[in-house]
Amino acid sequence: MSSSACFWYFAYGSNLLKERLQLKNPSAVFHCIGTIQDYRLNFGLWGDCTDCGWHGGVATIQESDGEEVWGVVWRIDNAHLNSLDRQEQVHEGVYSPIEVRVDTEEGSLLCRTYKMNNFRPCIPSPQYKQVVCLGAQQNGLPQNYIQKLQTLETNKYTGTSILDQITDIKK
């Protein structure tokens, strides 16, 4: 999962988008795309939480025989491990870090990723869906997987969100 100076991180949600991930983890460098087997992508909220900065459900993975989740393997400096954990709200118990085997064209990699605790289904906001789809396109995930992401239903939220921070950076 890690060498002396960096670790592998498998992103499948908003952190697919480089600009989103690098808000708090500037050392993140694209390595490759890959899949994790026997998982499915889902969207929801943590426990009794009724909202988050994305104003809708956020991505998590759940065990599911025969399914797969596409994502990006990022190489991140060990110095940013705590930052990534904070972004994923590990200390608040929202997500737990787990190790997954990612199948890539180069072979299998052990990577850190995150799985939501106390998951409660909730559809994503249009802004969250947009970031996930942009990240999938930016990194060349398979077109049929991108199309699947593009068909996700949203909650039609129209206010501000974390997407505004990403948009500000791109200006």
Catalytic sites, residue numbers:
88
CA distances from 152 to 105, 111, 128, 133, 149 (A): 27, 26, 11, 10, 6
Residues ≥6 apart with Cβ < 8 Å to 8: 1, 2, 31, 73, 74, 75, 76, 102, 109, 110, 111, 112
Name the strand (E) or helix (H) holding 169: helix 163-170
